[in-house]
Amino acid sequence: MKKIMKKLKKKFKIYDPKLKEECAVFGISNNEDAATLAALGLHALQHRGQEGCGIVSYDGEKYHSEKRFGLVGDNFNDEKVIKKLPGKYAIGHNRYSTTGGTALRNVQPFFADTNSGGIGVAHNGNLTNAITLRNKMVQEGSIFYTTSDTETIVKLIAKSKRAKTIDKVIDAMFQIQGGYALVMMTQNTLIGVRDPFGIRPLVIGKLKNSYVLASETCAFDIIGAKFVREVENGEIIHIENDEIKSIKPFPPKKVRPCVFEYIYFSRPDSILNGKTAYEYRKNFGEQLAKEDKIEADLVVPVPDSGNAAALGYAEKKGLKFDLGLIRNHYVGRTFIEPSQQIRSLGVKLKLNPNISVIKNKKIILVDDSLVRGTTSSKIVKMLYDSGAKEVHVRIASPEIKFPDFYGVDTPTKKELLAANKSTAEICEFIKAKSIKFLSLNGLYLGMGFEQRNENYPQLTDHHFTGEYPVKIIDELGEDKVTQLSLLSTASNN
């Protein structure tokens, strides 16, 4: 890896490829309480990123920006800070922590003055050609202040020769590739953009005379907004006062949302394609139970990520469901911790065995996914140490064998357990009595499809299949394809 990094840095001089982000975006138009509502919306979306948060507002004359490290509730919790964000328009962002790149200047929304006025940008996702674009701009004399690919988007918009801001945005959209959802604000206009495949989510809500844009519908519930619809793949939404316009500049494609939003990322109560994430996850558990012959004393979820799948599994099998692990809710997701050492510790900080439930029991332990295997191995040990008779691990998604380049923080191929070990070896590694993953077909059945469309999968499922909708052309080194540049997506219609 060190060799590859060296090679990358040499080739791309200034570039530090620590850009991956899985974040939350929010925007609201035409509302006296714009900043307060943005803070509440971001609070509901906290699960998508806990490293930093920010809000940019516009008061009819000036833009205002407040960006902080840490949680929304700890930072946007009093009148003092909200008063610094006057105006009827606001956008906001929660940033997800990844290794490196931890600096306040990387916290969004970003803001820039362009020749057609100011623009604030909040971005969830990952550009797969950011390095190429950034390098080109640097060679042309641009200066970058952050390591975030969002700055690339802002610069592309600012550099566009088109007169109107919305045309500048369209110009930029034609240059960027990857999985992204953007919420932008230019004076009294709110703009939302979803990538051509709709890999990252973005939804539209309505609150009296205001429109709201957010990563997930749970942000509408907290402020009493009504869910209107999803922003379509490749669609640009343009909101001025209470008027909403749709622009579709790209050639039409079928939507291919990221399967990980359904499996893990979205909050269980958020609605994705007509159903809550909870319902899909329960279905995945049911499918897993259908594919599984094992009997046991009880089904135990890994809280909270495995709760819905474990319930679905237990219901289908008619087995007892019980809480064998108790979660401390005052620690973030294990992944949030940047280093492997802290991540390992993180599992112990978060979960503790409930001895009364697990002693002398044959347990089926259900989680939504297995990435590095850190969580499962710690928990299996915890359960055995607490007197469990047998621990059988069941994972409500298939084996993750390929890294993600569209904004989900999955590690390199080298770190992905299922990319390097057979199922039997994984079982040995996590020291479980047995392990079983949901089949790819079972995943599609759980999603409500009859089967996976092999010619044009209904989801972006590269994590399991290695089929990347936005193709990667650079392959550097033995363990990881990099995000240097991609083929045109035109052939994927």
- The stretch near ligand AMP (CB under 6 A) out of 56-64, 228-236, 283-291, 329-337 is 329-337
Burial of 341 (0-12, 13-18, 19+ CB in 10 A): exposed
The answer to whether 394 and 317 are in contact (CB under 8 A) is no
Q: For residues 37 and 304, what is the distance between their CA atoms, to the nearest angstrom?
A: 27
Category of 87 on φ-ψ map: left (φ > 0), alpha (ψ -120 to 50) or beta: left
Q: Examine residue 305 and tell whether it contacts ligand AMP (CB under 6 A).
A: yes
- Minimum Å gap between C-beta 336 and ligand AMP is 7
- Minimum Å gap between C-beta 329 and ligand AMP is 15
Pairing of strands 63-69, 110-114: unpaired
**176 CB contacts (<8 Å, ≥6 apart)?**
127, 129, 130, 133, 152, 153, 156
Among 119, 302, 365, 432, binds ligand AMP (CB under 6 A): 302
Say what the alpha-carbon torsion angle 240, 114, 36, 80 is, to the nearest 10 degrees.
-150
Q: At what angle do helices 165-173 and 149-159 cross, to 10 degrees?
A: 130
Among 135, 369, 386, 489, binds ligand AMP (CB under 6 A): 369
Q: Examine residue 370 and tell whether it contacts ligand AMP (CB under 6 A).
A: yes
- Minimum Å gap between C-beta 409 and ligand AMP is 5
Q: Examine residue 373 and tell whether it contacts ligand AMP (CB under 6 A).
A: yes
**Residues with a known catalytic role:** 23
Q: Which two tokens mark 327?
A: 């979660």
Number of residues that bind ligand AMP (CB under 6 A): 19
Among 57, 186, 217, 374, binds ligand AMP (CB under 6 A): 374
- Minimum Å gap between C-beta 161 and ligand AMP is 38
**294 CB contacts (<8 Å, ≥6 apart)?**
364, 392, 434, 436
- The stretch near ligand AMP (CB under 6 A) out of 41-49, 161-169, 184-192, 405-413 is 405-413
Closer residue to ligand AMP, CB minimum distance, 31 or 374 = 374
- The stretch near ligand AMP (CB under 6 A) out of 68-76, 330-338, 433-441, 453-461 is 330-338
Among 20, 88, 333, 462, binds ligand AMP (CB under 6 A): 333
Q: Examine residue 106 and tell whether it contacts ligand AMP (CB under 6 A).
A: no
- The stretch near ligand AMP (CB under 6 A) out of 12-20, 34-42, 79-87, 331-339 is 331-339
Among 66, 151, 221, 368, binds ligand AMP (CB under 6 A): 368
Closer residue to ligand AMP, CB minimum distance, 203 or 395 = 395
Among 26, 250, 335, 384, binds ligand AMP (CB under 6 A): 335
Q: Which run of H or E residues covers position 63?
A: strand 63-69
Number of Cβ within 10 Å of residue 9's Cβ equals 13
Closer residue to ligand AMP, CB minimum distance, 207 or 308 = 308
Among 133, 408, 426, 481, binds ligand AMP (CB under 6 A): 408
Closer residue to ligand AMP, CB minimum distance, 17 or 306 = 306
CA distances in angstroms from 64 to 75, 86, 118, 362, listed in the order given: 16, 7, 11, 57
Q: For residues 343 and 348, what is the distance between their CA atoms, to the nearest angstrom?
A: 9
Closer residue to ligand AMP, CB minimum distance, 106 or 375 = 375
Closer residue to ligand AMP, CB minimum distance, 344 or 439 = 344
The answer to whether 383 and 391 are in contact (CB under 8 A) is yes
Closer residue to ligand AMP, CB minimum distance, 212 or 302 = 302
DSSP labels for 186-225?
ETTEEEEEE-TT--S--EEEEETTEEEEESSTHHHHHHTP
Strand-pairing partners, residue 238, are: 191, 245
- The stretch near ligand AMP (CB under 6 A) out of 191-199, 217-225, 372-380, 443-451 is 372-380
Interface contacts to ligand AMP, rule CB under 6 A? 264, 302, 305, 333-335, 367-376, 408-410
